[in-house]
């Protein structure tokens, strides 16, 4: 495989890795360029195991041995000092390994939910940390798939991938549109659509879980504002997690873990 020593941060071969801390820039250029970033040997390994293809790798000498056996011989591996990685990316890459990956084409909703019994649907969640944490909860607690609305943050953005520990490559997911009319497609496929929200007419999550619904699409909303009125209106049920101690709700990532666990154990 081509192992290429690089000492100049301005080297044009490192263009994929520039300005990784510029969120607005990366949100714009990564989908357009058909790429995303995987950081750390474990996450890179999970991406490859999920069938994703690397464009190149950028590593420090210390991490070369950990990653060079993971990729094919024709994948360039750029090896550079830590200070060069920091200069190029804009931050201290303490895991010492990055991979520029080809962004896969998204599957259809029909393909993603085929055979699924519990699907988590995310509306407008813009915090990449929360998106990544939800993927990790879904993977660890056994939901079958995730659907994200058009305004939801990119699950393949570097921060989402990192927080998910690479489970974004494990959990089947795709985007749904038009929104929220796409919820009708799930209902037509036999799903009961449940919106997780604070509402006077909400039923407890435990009661809903005990009702024996064969297929459930659990819809969760953005931090702060929660679900839109349109999404709530499109749901068959509104469910809530009973709280105590004067706390009215959980962070959306924590709520996803509680809800998936409750629905899967029934």
Count of domains in the chain? Answer: 2
3-state DSSP call for residue 69?
A: coil
User: Is 118 a residue whose pLDDT tops 60?
Assistant: yes
Do 158 and 26 share a domain, yes or no?
no
Tell me the CATH number at 34: 3.30.1330.30
The parent domain of residue 42 ranges over: 3-102
User: Is 88 a residue whose pLDDT tops 80?
Assistant: yes
Instruction: Name the burial class of residue 33, with classes exposed (0-12), middle (13-18) and buried (19+) by CB atoms within 10 angstroms of its CB.
Output: middle
User: Is 1 a residue whose pLDDT tops 60?
Assistant: no
Last residue of a domain, one of 102, 128, 157: 102
pLDDT in tens, 27-44: 888 998 899 999 999 999
Model confidence at 73, in pLDDT bands (50, 70, 90)? confident
**What's the pTM?**
0.92
Tell me the CATH number at 202: 3.40.1280.10
User: Is 158 a residue whose pLDDT tops 70?
Assistant: yes
Who wins on pLDDT, 95 or 233?
A: 233
Last residue of a domain, one of 102, 123, 150: 102
User: Is 15 a residue whose pLDDT tops 80?
Assistant: yes
User: Is 243 a residue whose pLDDT tops 90?
Assistant: no
Do 118 and 82 share a domain, yes or no?
no
pLDDT at 32: 87
Q: Which of 238, 240, 242, 217 has the alpha carbon at shortest distance from 229?
A: 238
Task: Determine which helix (DSSP H) or strand (DSSP E) holds 159, and give its type and residue range.
Answer: helix 158-163
CB atoms < 10 A from the CB of 136, how many? 21
In Å, how far are 79, 93, 183 from 4, measured between CA atoms?
6, 19, 49
Last residue of a domain, one of 102, 127, 142: 102
The total number of residues shown for the chain amounts to 266
User: Is 253 a residue whose pLDDT tops 80?
Assistant: yes
Token pair of 199 as six digits: 């509402």
Q: How many helices (H) and strands (E) does the chain have?
A: 11, 12
Do 44 and 155 share a domain, yes or no?
no
Please state whether 245 falls in left (phi above 0), alpha (psi between -120 and 50) or beta.
left
Q: Which of 94, 214, 121, 215 has the alpha carbon at shortest distance from 175?
A: 121
User: Is 212 a residue whose pLDDT tops 70?
Assistant: yes
């Amino acid at each position: 495989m081509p192992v290429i020593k690089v000492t100049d941060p301005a080297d044009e071969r490192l263009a994929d890795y520039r300005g990784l801390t510029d969120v607005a820039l990366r949100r714009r250029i990564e989908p357009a360029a058909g790429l995303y970033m995987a950081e750390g040997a474990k996450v890179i390994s999970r991406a490859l195991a999920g069938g994703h293809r690397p464009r190149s790798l950028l590593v420090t000498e210390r991490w070369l041995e950990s990653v060079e056996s993971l990729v094919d011989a024709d994948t360039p591996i750029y090896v550079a000092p830590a200070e060069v990685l920091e200069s190029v990316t804009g931050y201290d890459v303490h895991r010492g390994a990055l991979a520029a990956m080809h962004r896969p084409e998204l599957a259809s909703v029909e393909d993603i939910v085929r055979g699924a019994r519990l699907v988590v649907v995310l509306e407008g969640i813009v915090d990449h940390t929360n998106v990544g944490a939800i993927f990790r909860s879904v993977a660890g607690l056994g939901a079958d798939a995730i659907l994200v609305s058009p305004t939801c943050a990119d699950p393949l953005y570097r921060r989402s991938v990192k927080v998910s520990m690479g489970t974004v490559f494990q959990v089947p997911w795709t985007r749904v549109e038009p929104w929220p009319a796409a919820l009708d497609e799930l209902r037509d496929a036999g799903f009961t659509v449940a919106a997780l929200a604070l509402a006077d007419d909400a039923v407890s999550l435990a009661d809903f879980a005990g009702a024996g619904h064969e297929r459930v699409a659990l819809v969760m909303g953005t931090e702060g504002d929660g679900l839109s009125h349109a999404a709530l209106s499109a749901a068959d049920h509104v469910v809530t997690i009973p709280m105590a101690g004067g706390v009215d709700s959980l962070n959306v990532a924590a709520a996803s873990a509680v809800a998936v666990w409750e629905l899967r154990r029934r």
